[in-house]
Chains A and B, each alone.
Chain A
Amino acid sequence: SQQGEEDPQALSIQEGENATMNCSYKTSINNLQWYRQNSGRGLVHLILIRSNEREKHSGRLRVTLDTSKKSSSLLITASRAADTASYFCATETRRGSNYKLTFGKGTLLTVNP
């Protein structure tokens, strides 16, 4: 399986509800990032959390990181129809002396009005 795997693959909720997406990874990381992708568009960076941080907030977003469990979660509170998108976690992986971001396959979030 991939370095970063999101769970669930798809999530459908009603407007106003909270949405929680999870990401698990395998190797040690320096940071973990969450991105959003609207249909037919490029990815947009949401938030970055470093390995020495446990929780981070940005507006209606809350990200947690548990390095002992190699997992992260993204919580979107008071969801809106405009939050409908795919959400990806990205982790830094290392190949020799080279680093790269590895993206999971994403969680498709649908927020119904």
Chain B
Amino acid sequence: DAGVIQSPRHEVTEMGQEVTLRCKPISGHDYLFWYRQTMMRGLELLIYFNNNVPIDDSGMPEDRFSAKMPNASFSTLKIQPSEPRDSAVYFCASSLRLVSETQYFGPGTRLLVL
């Protein structure tokens, strides 16, 4: 298996623009997670899905952030409009059965909002 795939790997955009990050989880995994990593706050869970259904979005910073999982093999995290403070590395991860079991991380998307 190719592992968790994320695209793009790097994104530079201007404040106010819409940003869409994409993730393909490992086939057969029931759970998908979106994390954000910054130096100040470390690794934060934004939202996670179980069988394509959002379970906990309490970590989503504000309404500018939205996430979807239209099918078992694809998820998006959208920021609209983007702000400089959104600059971070965004990781997608998936796990087979349970939230607390081993999570497999993608390589991340490094986002810079100017």
| Chain B interface residues toward A at CB < 8 A | 4, 42-43, 45, 48, 55-56, 58, 91, 93, 98-108
Chain A, residues 26-55, CB within 8 Å of chain B (1/0): the string is 000011010000000111110010000000
A33 / chain B contacts, CB cutoff of 8 Å: 102
Of chain A, the residue at the smallest CB distance from B102 is A45
Q: Do B91 and A42 have beta carbons less than 8 Å apart?
A: yes
CB distance from A11 to the nearest CB of B (A): 17
Of chain B, the residue at the smallest CB distance from A50 is B100
A44 / chain B contacts, CB cutoff of 8 Å: 105
CB distance from A88 to the nearest CB of B (A): 7
A61 contacts the other chain (CB 8 A): no
Count chain A CB atoms within 10 A of each CB in B45, B99, B100 and give the residue with the most: B100
A101 contacts the other chain (CB 8 A): yes
Q: How large is the interface on A (under 10, 10 to 19, 20 to 34, 35 or more residues)?
A: 20 to 34
Bound together, the chains give a CA A61 to CA B58 distance in angstroms of 34
Docked complex: A38-93 residues within 8 A CB-CB of B: 41-45, 48, 88, 90, 92
Looking at the complex, which one of A43, A48, A90, A98 makes contact with B91 (CB distance below 8 Å)? A43
A48 / chain B contacts, CB cutoff of 8 Å: 101-102
B108 / chain A contacts, CB cutoff of 8 Å: 41-42
Docked complex: A80-113 residues within 8 A CB-CB of B: 88, 90, 92, 95, 98-106
